[in-house]
Amino acid sequence: MVTGFNHSGVVVDDLDAMIAFYTDVLGLEVLREVESIAPPGGDHTGIPNARRKLVFVGKPGDQHQLELVHYYDPEPSAGHLHHHQFGASHICFNTDDLEGLHSKLSAQGIRFVTEPKFRETPEGFRIGITYALDPEGNYLEFIDRKKVGS
C-alpha cells in the first residue's frame, strides 16, 4: 500500500539554470545529486544505457522532494507537452504569503499565467492560488491556505 509521497520528477534541458531557479529564486536547497548510468538491459526506468544526472531539491526535513532529471543519453525528445494534454504535469508549492510571493517573483521576471485568485470555503478558509512557469515552461502552482481571522 502507498504510505505517502517521496518525490516528483521532471525532465529538464538546462540543469544548471533549473537548479538556479529552484534554489536561488524559490529558495529550495539541493539535497543530493546522483550520476546514473543504466546497464545495457536497462535499470528500473527500463531505458537501456541511459546516462543521466539526478538533482533532488527541497526543504530539509520535508517529506517531498523535486527531482530534476537531465538525460545526457538518450537525449530527450524535442518539444513540450501542452499543459492540457494527457501526461502533462505541474508542481504545486505551499506558501504563507501568496501576494508577496507573486510580487517578488514578478519583479524577478518570473512569468505568471494567472494573477492570484482567492476564495473562501464554507469551512472558513481563505484559499489563494496562482500559476507561473519555470524557465523551461513547466507549470508551477502556488497555494496559500489560511483560516479566516488567523
Q: Is 67 helix (H, G, I), strand (E, B) or coil?
A: strand
pLDDT for 123 equals: 92
Residue range(s) occupied by CATH 3.10.180.10 in the chain:
7-73, 90-147
Angle at 23 between CA 6 and CA 56, to 5 degrees: 30
**pLDDT digits over 83-127, tens only?**
777 677 889 999 999 999 999 999 999 999 999 999 999 999 999
Q: Is 70 helix (H, G, I), strand (E, B) or coil?
A: strand
Superfamily of domain 90-147: 2,3-Dihydroxybiphenyl 1,2-Dioxygenase, domain 1 (3.10.180.10)
Q: Are 23 and 29 in contact (CB under 8 A)?
A: yes
pLDDT for 37 equals: 81
Q: Report the alpha-carbon distance of residue 121 to residue 111 in Å, rounded.
A: 28
pLDDT for 73 equals: 84
* Positions in the chain short of pLDDT 70: 1-3, 41-45, 78, 86, 150
Q: Are 70 and 57 in contact (CB under 8 A)?
A: no
Q: Does domain 7-73 have CATH number 3.10.180.10?
A: yes
